[in-house]
Structure 1
Amino acid sequence: MILYPTIELQNGRVVSLHRGRLEEPMIWHVDPLDTARGFASAGASWMHLTDFDGIEGRGENVELIEEIIRVAGIPVQIGGGFRNRDSVERWIEKGAGRIVLGTLAVRDPDLVRELAKYFPDQIVLALDVWQGQVMSDGWRMASAIAPEAFLDAFADAPLAGIIVTDIDSDMEDLDAQLGLMSGLAAKARAPVIASGVVRNVDDIARLKYVPHISGALVGRALFRKTIDLVEALEVAQPQPESVAEFK
């Protein structure tokens, strides 16, 4: 299972949000560049970055994100505010390893399917679920689309992955989250990445045995220091199966 240590940016600061409330950020007093370098030093193979200002249509973090891409030492998966083809192509040209699309996938699924074919293994679908509906616009707009129908719409697209977030639970009911995620993962044709379910190393140990889930985003727990990234990466590795000895 691949762990994606995560940085979420707002006004140049590393933050975490509760249920996507942009007006109530929890600010972490860390340097985003040093943090990104630390992910690579710990042994991570990827990192994830969410630009909350991009979700609101603002570009305050552009230069900082460009610098993170340059110094991280590992590929960067970026989400937040991609509303058209130009913005996706521009950030891939800037060196982004992957682009995460949620709102654009709700509004223009044909375009997202085209982008996935043009940039194979670089487009990730964001599937944010609240009360059985797919959400968009930073969790603020409910669509009329059921999660299963949303997955079906992209069944033939060569996506790099699908990030699934259960907004209902938001880290309060792990069993319910894992039930939703495993059910959707069983229907998905691309690797599923769980979001919002990792609070400690035990959660990683449980998650890696949930069928069809290939990875997880880990953010808030790193900054709260309830998880050590080096240990988490080790736990996420597959364990060798015991083999019977024959004499």
Structure 2
Amino acid sequence: MGLTLYPAIDLKAGQVVRLKRGDMREATVYSADPAAQARLFAGAGFRWLHVVDLDGAFAGRPANASAVQAILAATPGLPVQLGGGIRSMGAVEGWLDQGVKRVILGSAALKDPQFALAACRAWPGQIAVGIDARGGMVATEGWADISTMTAGDLARRFEDAGAAAIIYTDIDRDGMLGGVNLEATLALARSVRVPVIASGGVASLNDLASLTAVTGEGIEGVIIGRALYDGRIDPAKALALVSAAPAKG
């Protein structure tokens, strides 16, 4: 399998936005209609959607449920991975029952590991662990708090729990279009047996080419946000690039 591209739909107050370095005060609104944005990505040929409830991530509970439900209704058959404020088994089960393909647990993976591990075991292959890092250290609560745990140490906790993927975000690069942190992402992918999805800083087709070149080393996919919305990455060219890449064994 080649590199999977995950176009990002970040939700704030029911709108599609992009942040800079996770700062809610630095939000650029790209669409007032998340469902329409989802249909655009589906029509472009993407095979997944990456949806984040930003308000939920900060509040610790879902805050954009109606927008998420509209996305699910607008793109039947297109798998969605969803994160942001999902902190209980009931919340996980509720979203999976509504059609979310994969639930992302972020802050909970660090702050409530027993819950996160239990969710991975209860729904094997349907839970992704979101690890957001600044300077290699895990950040939580919508990136507002920096912990004393390294990204690698947290990832290794979930190796044998049935997690579908580790989503690794370099906060300092997120929304900044400065290029993906390939070195840190690759180091994490090489250190764990769980597939890694890169996130943060993707700015050009060159970033996708660099990631495609190392898919055989544990990097399964990449999340693309601002570069798609700003037109720096053309969806057709991006999808053609990863589909043309030779399969890695």
- TM-score between both structures, scaled by the size of structure 2: 0.90
1:169 to 1:9, Cα distance in 2 relative to 1, 3 A: closer
Q: Could you report, residue by residue, the CA deviation over 1:101-135 in whole angstroms, capped at 9, with x for unpaired residues?
A: 11111111122111111111110001111123111
1:75 CA displacement: 0.9
Tell me, yes or no, if structure 1 residue 55 matches structure 2 residue 61: no
Instruction: For residue 23 of structure 1, give the secondary structure of its aligned residue in structure 2.
Output: strand
1:240 CA displacement: 3.9
Match of 1:41 in 2: 43
* Structure 2 gap segments, 5+ residues each: none
Match of 2:108 in 1: 104
Tell me, yes or no, if structure 1 residue 174 matches structure 2 residue 176: no
Tell me, yes or no, if structure 1 residue 230 matches structure 2 residue 230: no
1:53 CA displacement: 1.4
Instruction: For residue 190 of structure 1, give the secondary structure of its aligned residue in structure 2.
Output: coil
2:206 maps to a residue whose letter is D
Q: Map 1:135-154; keep pairs closer than 5 Å.
A: 135-154=139-158
2:110 maps to a residue whose letter is V
* Aligned counterpart for 1:217 among listed residues 218, 223, 232: 223
2:103 maps to a residue whose letter is I
Provide the C-alpha distance between the structure 2 equivalents of 1:87 and 1:193, rounded to a whole number of angstroms: 23
Provide the C-alpha distance between the structure 2 equivalents of 1:70 and 1:168, rounded to a whole number of angstroms: 34
Instruction: For residue 149 of structure 2, give the secondary structure of its aligned residue in structure 1.
Output: coil
* Aligned counterpart for 2:168 among listed residues 148, 152, 164: 164
Q: Percent identity?
A: 38
Tell me, yes or no, if structure 1 residue 64 matches structure 2 residue 70: no
When Rg is computed on C-alpha atoms for both structures, the one with the higher figure is: 1
1:185 to 1:136, Cα distance in 2 relative to 1, 3 A: same
1:60 CA displacement: 4.3
Provide the C-alpha distance between the structure 1 equivalents of 2:196 and 2:136, rounded to a whole number of angstroms: 18
Greater fraction strand: 2
Provide the C-alpha distance between the structure 1 equivalents of 2:65 and 2:10, rounded to a whole number of angstroms: 13
2:66 maps to a residue whose letter is E
Provide the C-alpha distance between the structure 2 equivalents of 1:203 and 1:30, rounded to a whole number of angstroms: 29
Superposition RMSD on alpha carbons, in Å? 1.7
Match of 2:87 in 1: 83
* Structure 1 gap segments, 5+ residues each: 242-247
Instruction: For residue 139 of structure 1, give the secondary structure of its aligned residue in structure 2.
Output: coil
Provide the C-alpha distance between the structure 2 equivalents of 1:48 and 1:33, rounded to a whole number of angstroms: 13
Paired residues in the alignment total: 240
Where has structure 1 moved over 4 Å in runs of 4 or more? none
1:190 CA displacement: 1.2
Provide the C-alpha distance between the structure 2 equivalents of 1:9 and 1:240, rounded to a whole number of angstroms: 35
- TM-score between both structures, scaled by the size of structure 1: 0.91
Provide the C-alpha distance between the structure 1 equivalents of 2:35 and 2:243, rounded to a whole number of angstroms: 26
Provide the C-alpha distance between the structure 1 equivalents of 2:242 and 2:45, rounded to a whole number of angstroms: 12
Which moves more between the two structures, 33-42 or 46-55? 33-42
1:155 to 1:79, Cα distance in 2 relative to 1, 3 A: same
Provide the C-alpha distance between the structure 1 equivalents of 2:75 and 2:232, rounded to a whole number of angstroms: 23
Provide the C-alpha distance between the structure 1 equivalents of 2:70 and 2:124, rounded to a whole number of angstroms: 25
Match of 2:202 in 1: 198
Instruction: For residue 160 of structure 2, give the secondary structure of its aligned residue in structure 1.
Output: coil
Q: Could you report, residue by residue, the CA deviation over 1:82-110 in whole angstroms, capped at 9, with x for unpaired residues?
A: 12221111111111111111111111112
Which moves more between the two structures, 148-157 or 96-105? 148-157
Q: Could you report, residue by residue, the CA deviation over 1:160-193 in whole angstroms, capped at 9, with x for unpaired residues?
A: 1111011234446537x11111000101211100
Tell me, yes or no, if structure 1 residue 239 matches structure 2 residue 239: no
